[in-house]
Amino acid sequence: MEEAYAQSPALHIASAGNSGRDNDEEPHFPGSYPIENMIAVAASDNKDRIGSFSSFGDHTVHLAAPGVNIYSTLPGARYKSFSGTSMACPHVGGVAALILTQYPDATNEQVKERLMMGTEVLEEQRHLTISGGRLNAALSLENDTIAPGPAAGFQATARAGELEVSWRTPGDDGVLGVVRSTQVKISAEPITQETFSEADSLYDSLPNEPGTPQSVRRQFPLQKSPRTVHLALQSRDNVGNASPLQNMEVVVPAAELVFADSGRDDHLWKIDEHWSRVSVPGRGRVWTDSAEGDYGYATEARLDSPSLNLRRTEGNVLRFQARLALGRGDYFRVQATEDGRSWRTVATYEQSSDWSDFEVPLTRYDGSSIQLRFLLRSDQSGNDDGIFLTDLEVLGRKSPSEG
């Protein structure tokens, strides 16, 4: 069915469905087929609210159209009011026909773009459809050949694990009028006009007056090496005219390595009688709480790190690799202390897993010196092979006061 719709030369206009559900989670076909020549329509009422029965979808329903208490026909020359997304579709089909009457050479893609970009954008519908608005014939039919101008002040600042992009909204016709949308995309590769639509969205704005300051922030996992990201910004008006594509390359700096367990400073650790280092093929020397086999019953095994100075960094995270083999009712915890007496649990693991990467936020301790404790606690009814830890490190971004 999906292939048949996709291969058809027609532009298909389908009801979103009347289950009142999110089509992003529970698709309704054929409207939910992810094909270019499909438009799924939600139903709105005379107060521009999505009907209580209407399905919706921020990624799968394209726009809303009047579909509540619509006066329509019945057999036998009778008339009656009906509600449903099937009542909303003919309004969209009618405007599509008007577009093709006025612009007979328009492609399916151009008709669809005029329908979606020409919607009346409504805050209450912003996250219920892709376009965020209700069908508007006048805006979709407008004869506009002037593209939006470029955005002024398009720039970015980057810190370790963080990127902030800012600009000022351009005008619809050059510098005048309100643009329909401004999108900022991000990618690991340079973004061209051909790849713009496929790049990850960093920002997709509601209409704003020209010159309005805008900004968006993106967080990244902290890394020990710099990363290069590519940004692109483009605005469109209500008939799909696009501004010049603006590109930027930004280097996100590496994080500060606050601590790394080198395996050469074991004398700085506080190690109880359970913990020790053992050799594991492919992993080298790793920490374990039970070097001789399964850990015991009613055991509490503690491994305390050296003091970690987080006074000069923020957004700190602990990372490590581990294999967890835990008996039922037993658990492994990561704890932290600022005074060496009061320990707070920052992560708890109760499920076994093969070698995996783990990350524990330490932001509550930004600006402090702390110790970490790796704690295995078992009950009296079961045991297993225990905990194996390696590649322990703490990363953070340099605090603003540190430059």
Let me know: does 256 contact 397? Beta carbons within 8 Å. yes
Q: What is the C-alpha separation between 148 and 181, in angstroms, rounded?
A: 10
Q: What is the C-alpha separation between 352 and 298, in angstroms, rounded?
A: 18
Q: What is the C-alpha separation between 167 and 170, in angstroms, rounded?
A: 9
pLDDT at 165 over 90: yes
Phi, psi for residue 138 in degrees, rounded to 5: -60, -45
Peptide bond before residue 361 is cis, with ω within 30 degrees of 0? no
pLDDT at 299 over 70: yes
Let me know: does 333 contact 349? Beta carbons within 8 Å. yes
Per-residue tokens: 161: 């694990």
pLDDT at 258 over 90: yes
Residue 130, class by beta-carbon neighbours within 10 Å (0-12 exposed, 13-18 middle, 19+ buried)?
Answer: middle
Q: Is the pTM of this model over 0.85?
A: no
Phi and psi based region of residue 181 (left: phi greater than 0; alpha: psi -120 to 50; beta: remaining): beta
Q: What is the C-alpha separation between 8 and 349, in angstroms, rounded?
A: 52
Q: What is the C-alpha separation between 57 and 125, in angstroms, rounded?
A: 10
27-62 pLDDT tens trace: 999 999 999 999 999 999 999 999 999 999 999 999
User: Which CATH number is 152-254's, of 3.40.190.10, 3.30.70.20, 2.60.40.2550, 1.10.510.10?
Assistant: 2.60.40.2550
Cα–Cα–Cα angle for 364, 305, 223, nearest 5°? 60
- The closest alpha carbon to 85, from 136, 132, 50, 137, belongs to 50
Per-residue tokens: 228: 């290069």
In the chain, % of residues over pLDDT 70: 100
Per-residue tokens: 253: 């700096």
pLDDT at 388 over 80: yes
pLDDT at 403 over 80: no
Let me know: does 226 contact 251? Beta carbons within 8 Å. yes
Which residue bears the tokens 């783990």?
358
Averaged pLDDT for residues 342-369: 96
Averaged pLDDT for residues 65-71: 97
User: Which CATH number is 2-141's, of 3.90.10.10, 3.40.50.200, 3.40.630.30, 2.40.10.120?
Assistant: 3.40.50.200
Q: What is the C-alpha separation between 53 and 45, in angstroms, rounded?
A: 11
Q: What is the C-alpha separation between 60 and 91, in angstroms, rounded?
A: 19
Let me know: does 49 contact 122? Beta carbons within 8 Å. no
- What is the identity of the amino acid at 143? N
Return residue ranges of the chain for CATH 3.40.50.200. 2-141
User: Which CATH number is 259-402's, of 2.60.120.200, 2.40.10.10, 3.40.50.2000, 3.30.420.40?
Assistant: 2.60.120.200
Average pLDDT, the chain: 94
Averaged pLDDT for residues 262-268: 90
- The closest alpha carbon to 344, from 372, 321, 369, 316, belongs to 372
The DSSP call for residue 7 is: H
The DSSP call for residue 164 is: E
pLDDT of residue 118: 93
Q: Rg of the chain over CA atoms, in angstroms?
A: 29
Averaged pLDDT for residues 207-230: 93
pLDDT at 402 over 70: no
pLDDT of residue 149: 93
